[in-house]
Structure 1
């Protein structure tokens, strides 16, 4: 649905300087133009970015949609967690919500952080709505394990760790190169001082 994004950009002449408050007026209209499909929404977001809007502006125009219904503004992680727990969404719905939440982050570390926060908020929200039965304790444990599995937290954490490890290795290599250059320059200075002593 890149055409939707292109049409809106041309018609309203939006730029990166357009205030978010002005863009928010069109959230509902854009939402109606897009299908309830994660890929379509993702393509539209990408197209808006390519056409020059900032990530924040795009999030105003196409907010995270945890339930598939149109809502103005961006839901907080608290609201998303509360809705998941209260409405007892099936695993596919939770996967979709977690994917949307994680993929809207600027990098893998932030995505992992959002998913971890969502998991914690879901646990807290779930505790505020306790069950009456004693047998529900085991169900809670299974539910927590299922949530961690559904969100793929281990995979997210591994991805974040891999990205950070790569950056650390690159920085260590640069540091070694700088250290080597420093030692070389230090030896040259010593040689020059020996060749040309001060008077």
Structure 2
């Protein structure tokens, strides 16, 4: 990703004359924003061929990562390391599919076994060893503490699972990510896609006709839908089901919250789109490799994943959020975030420049969104 590479190089004024120890300070910045091997390989070529960094310098800025993971080297006291490595119990790698079950079982095992503070700390640290970075480690430890608290663990047991070094490193990753997003990844939108314009079109749609791409985009904003959810999402009296979730998780109804306050109207519009897709009269933008919807949005400088974020902000505005904390709560409900999801959302942190129709871009208000699942 040459654009991201160029932005990072220019932002921090990186040059091939810099010492390797200096360049090493920016490794996390590259890894946080280059999320797969293809992007990293492109960035390495850009650094080497475009900015004339040596192979050694490139390997420091963007180290090779097998299976997408890097060995995490947290600066922790040697006593902690000795405890962790001497423990014989091995904790499976908490993937998105099994992390909740694995950490929950660990918490139960800790209490059932009546382990000492020393052993609890060892197991907690072992939990972080397979994490790709300190931010993920901190998230796992946070989930473990919540599980222990729910099971009635003592204050001392819960406190012993805290590692200030990991927390500090995780906070630094989050700060760097926020700085990058605020500098390079803010979402702007034209008047055609303001809250006022979207709501006017949603109110005017006749569901007895065939929907077009504009209707598809407006309804995806209205319900904060991912393309992959379009055919599965359902609005019921109990709540919203059929949303994207980790494999193996139950389809628990989540609260209906949308910029369209009328639940029946929202359901009608969603069904309208789904019938058009199922009948073959409209394509499914959730199918892999589909580009026609991206081409439609490109005329407005938008991409599909931005629609979900816009819908969350519009939902908070439409429901009259009293303050930013209230706005974040409403936005999270629009996005159908799980109240039990403790994974750090730093990777999906975005900024939406909210403005009303006709208001100049420079007068837009920044709205920070964490799309966590």
What band does the TM-score fall into relative to the shorter chain?
Answer: 0.3 to 0.5
The TM-score, its normalising length taken from structure 1, stands at: 0.40
Q: Looking at secondary structure, tell me which structure has more strand per residue.
A: 2
The TM-score, its normalising length taken from structure 2, stands at: 0.23
Q: Looking at secondary structure, tell me which structure has more helix per residue.
A: 1
Name the larger-Rg structure. Answer: 1
